[in-house]
Amino acid sequence: MSDENTEPMTLDEMAAEGDAMDAAGEEVLARIATLEAERDEMRDKFMRALADAENTRKRADRDRKEAENYGSSRMSRDLLPVYDNLRRALQSAEEADQAANAALLEGVELTMRELISVFKKHGIDPIVPQVGDKFDPNLHQAMFEAPVPGTKSGHIIQVSTEGFMLHDRLLRPAQVGVSSMPAS
């Protein structure tokens, strides 16, 4: 809208105005590029924070489950001698006169059953190797080696004490004697 008193722009003036508009446009484009870069950086930080939060949640769940399953391992280990003593009491009572001590023997058997029930409830399972089984260093502890005729080297010849697992972890290895009979 040109008014009658204004003179038309010269080509140089129009070029100067166009250059000014181009500079303003470049400024806007530069500002947009800066804002996009900031947005991308913030998105990256957000995604990393989200991943960190998820990893922390997973780690907390894993730690909670581990504490739930294995937090009682010290007390469980402390109860194993009680189990061993009850087992020995039952074994010695079998050899002695059972009629004279029937009530005492029954009480010891009930106590042993209750202890085994509590062990099962809390994920404690016995490792009961048999004579003739192959020695497994992941489950057994060799207390001695002896060359026993009629046995194979590396096989169990005697079981001293049972071992125990707490869920999938070894609580105590079974203590065994192992044959060292040389191959013939």
What's the sign of the alpha-carbon dihedral 127, 131, 133, 138?
positive
Structure tokens at 96: 């002695």
Query: What rounded mean pLDDT belongs to the chain?
Result: 88
Dig out the tokens for 87 from the structure. Answer: 């087992």
Q: What is the pLDDT of residue 82?
A: 93
pLDDT at res. 94:
67
Beta strands at 174-179 and 140-146: parallel, antiparallel or unpaired: parallel
* 3 confidence band (pLDDT: 50, 70, 90): low
Give 120-151 pLDDT, tens digit per residue: 999 999 999 999 999 999 999 999 999 888 88
- pLDDT the model gives residue 176: 96
Residue 93 Cα distances to 32, 99, 104, 105, 109, angstroms: 90, 10, 9, 7, 10
- Amino acid code (one letter) for 94: E
3-class SS of residue 160 = strand
Closest-CA residue to 81 (of 9, 175, 180): 175
Quick one: residue 61, left, alpha or beta (phi over 0 = left, psi -120 to 50 = alpha)? alpha
pLDDT score at 99: 67
- 116, with CB counted inside 10 A (0-12, 13-18, 19+), is middle
Q: Each residue of 60-115: pLDDT tens digit?
A: 999 999 888 888 888 899 999 999 999 988 888 766 566 667 888 888 899 999 99
Residue 47 has pLDDT above 80, yes or no: yes
Asked if residue 35 has pLDDT above 80, the reply is yes
The count of other CB atoms within 10 Å of the CB of residue 107 is: 11
Nearest C-alpha neighbor of 170 from the set 120, 123, 118: 123
